[in-house]
Amino acid sequence: CYSHHCVGEIRASVYISVYWTFLYHLSGLVEICLMHPLDVVKTRFQIQRCATDPNSYKSLGDSFRVIFRTEGLFGFYKGILPPILAETPKRAFFTFEQYKKLLGYVSLSPALTFAIAGLGSGLTEAIVVNPFEVVKVGLQANRNKFTEQPSTMSYARHIIKKEGLGLQGLNKGFTATLGRHGVFNMVYFGFYHNVKNILPVNKDPTLEFLRKFGIGLLSGTIASVINIPFDVAKSRIQGPQPVPGEIKYRTCFKTMATVYQEEGILALYKGLLPKIMRLGPGGAVMLLVYEYSYSWLQENW
């Protein structure tokens, strides 16, 4: 085992791990930077309660115009630091692979394995990212000019000092985040891998790329449609409450019920368009970066 061949294999394995990690850092960072304006707009739509409110956005185009006019270009990048620090996209793929390996020891069908591994990766991801999400949503909800907004660290300290680290403070909206990430990853990974295995592979590289991109786009879109009620509940719990000092939105399902009773079923789908615009193409790109970089590394190392 101390032969040159063995040492070479270990070295190649280390190189693969380093490159794999680097590619995921890079692709995750690019995805966040490109798509964050849509995330800001989505959060704003989800926390607005009444269409007759003069401060409410009337449409997607209106939201972009108003934010740009009143908050400037950097208004679209409020709360960008928490998702960069949390490294959400990279972590989702890594944990999915780990759960898939673990489930290999259990006699499950491939379809069920992909879905359960996706669910497990989403729940694990939610535990890690929830405090970052609380800070992000609070910063995104702030309509002041970017220069008048507190920094990420000062806002996090403010939450900890005022509300603590628990489920009413830095970890509020925890069950909604579990639901959002668990459901999304279960559908996203489950649908992508199952459909990809059913549809025939194209020998033409361009057509094969388009096949995978199309399945990835559909996976991100369907997952977004199914999980958005959890997303709305999460934004309401983690965002500013209607009456300052009085907590109206506390738990996931109670928040969903309140929103449904007061605003109707469509209110649970607020922010769906910017969410799909972000996670449809974004989800496809992340899956393709994962697949092509992984196969390239296997071929070259």
Number of domains present in the structure of the chain: 1
Could you tell me the two tokens for 239?
């965002």
Predicted local confidence at residue 9, as pLDDT: 66
Q: What 3-state DSSP class applies to 246? A: strand
Q: At what angle do helices 205-238 and 174-198 cross, to 10 degrees?
A: 170
Q: Which residues contact 25 (CB under 8 A, 6 or more apart)?
A: 87, 90
| pTM of structure | 0.90
Q: Which residues of the chain have pLDDT under 70?
A: 1-9, 12-13, 16-17, 20-21, 23-24, 51, 88-90, 297, 301
CA 118, 195, 217, 176 torsion-angle sign: negative
User: What separation in angstroms does the CA of 251 have from each of 82, 158, 166, 174?
Assistant: 23, 22, 13, 9
Contact 183, 223 (CB under 8 A): yes
> Which residues lie across from 243 on neighbouring strands?
246
Range of the domain at 157: 4-300
179-189 pLDDT per residue, tens: 999 999 999 99
Residue pLDDT, tens place only, 236-261: 999 999 998 899 999 999 999 999 99
Q: What HEC string does 247-273 produce?
A: CCCCCHHHHHHHHHHHHCHHHHHCCHH
Q: Residue 145 maps to which CATH number?
A: 1.50.40.10
